[in-house]
Structures are given as C-alpha cells and as structure tokens.
Structure 1
C-alpha cells in the first residue's frame, strides 16, 4: 500500500486550468481499482492518495501522468506502508504472513 502526497508548487495558480484533466486522472485510478481514497491536504496544501494493488514502478508511472504533475502544479512524494494490523474490512491491505 502506498500513500502519496501531492504538494502544491509555485505553479499552483495554474491548477484551475488543469482541474478537469486532473479529476479525470483520479477517476481513472479508481476505475483501475488502484486508488482507495483521495482527498485534500488541509489547509489548501495539495492532496493525498491512498493506493494499493500495483508496484511502485507502476504507481510512479501513473503519478507521472497526472496533469498536475506534468504541468508542475504539484510534486508527488510517495511512501510505502507495510500494513501489519487493520480492521477486518481492510485485511486485504495486510502483507501475507
């Protein structure tokens, strides 16, 4: 499982120009069943993505295609989480023992 922080850069003023494409990119991540949760970093600092089900290389390629990343609106910082405990509904996130 990965958590990615999309932090606004100095080019954040361009975000409205690419918001529709960014939202389409997010929708594709859900359609591909790779994104589990997407939300905003508060206060207005960017966004975060919880993802699962693809390699780090595949996720990095997916992130590189985000229009916000392509146009320098955000920078992506990804961390891998090796889940050891979870509520039953999230057991699929735990690595096999």
Structure 2
C-alpha cells in the first residue's frame, strides 16, 4: 500500500483555484492508477491518498497532479506492508 501525504505550500485559496483539475486528476487515479481513498487533512493543510500498485508507477503519476505542477503542495510517499486490517478492508493487505 502507498500512502501519499500532500502538504500545502500555498494557501487553501490558491489550492481552490486548481481544485477542479486536481479532482479530475484524482478521478483518473481511481480509474487507472490504483487509488483506494483520498481526502483533506483536518485542519485543511493538505490531503492524503491511499493507493495500491508499484510505488514507482504511483510516484510517476503524482508528477502530473495540478497541485504538483503548480507548486501548490509537497508530496511525501510512504510504502507500507499492511499485515492486519478489519473485516471489509482486506484489500489493503499485501
């Protein structure tokens, strides 16, 4: 499993200017790049994406996010080997 933590480098208002493109990018991520879940951090300082797939492929796709190309957010990528999950979330394992 890949955990991507986005941290805003610019204001939330600046992020909002690129939100439509970011949301379209996320939609493609779900359809074609193994995204499983995503959402905003609370308080709103960025967001998180959970994905499956080869780390290199996920990292390559991150480069096309409008938040990345417009310098809105910094991305930290962590790969984890999920060994235990509650019923219904077995998809997160291995």
- With the length of structure 1 as denominator, give the TM-score of the two structures: 0.86
Q: Which runs of 5+ in 1 are unaligned?
A: none
Gaps of 5+ in 2: none
Larger radius of gyration: 1
Q: How far apart are residue 91 of structure 1 and its match?
A: 2.3
Work out the CA distance in 1 between the residues paired with 2:33 and 2:68: 21
Alignment-derived partner of residue 88 in structure 2: 89
Shift of 1:68: 0.3
SS in 1 for 2:89: helix
Alignment RMSD:
1.6
1:27-85 residue CA offsets vs partner (Å, 9 max, x unmatched):
11111261111011110111000111x21110111111100011100000011111111
Instruction: Count how many residue pairs are aligned between Structure 1 and Structure 2.
Output: 94
For residues 88 and 57 of structure 1, the distance between their equivalents in structure 2, rounded to whole angstroms, comes to 29
Query: Which stretches of structure 1, 4 residues or more, deviate above 3 A after TM superposition?
Result: 10-13
Contact 2:85 2:93 in 1 (8 A): yes
The answer as to 2:31 corresponding to 1:31 is yes
Q: Does 1:14 align with 2:43?
A: no
Cα 1:33/1:56, change in 2 over 3 Å: closer
Kept in 1, the 8 Å contact 2:2–2:77? The answer is yes
Give TM-score, length-normalised by structure 2. Answer: 0.89
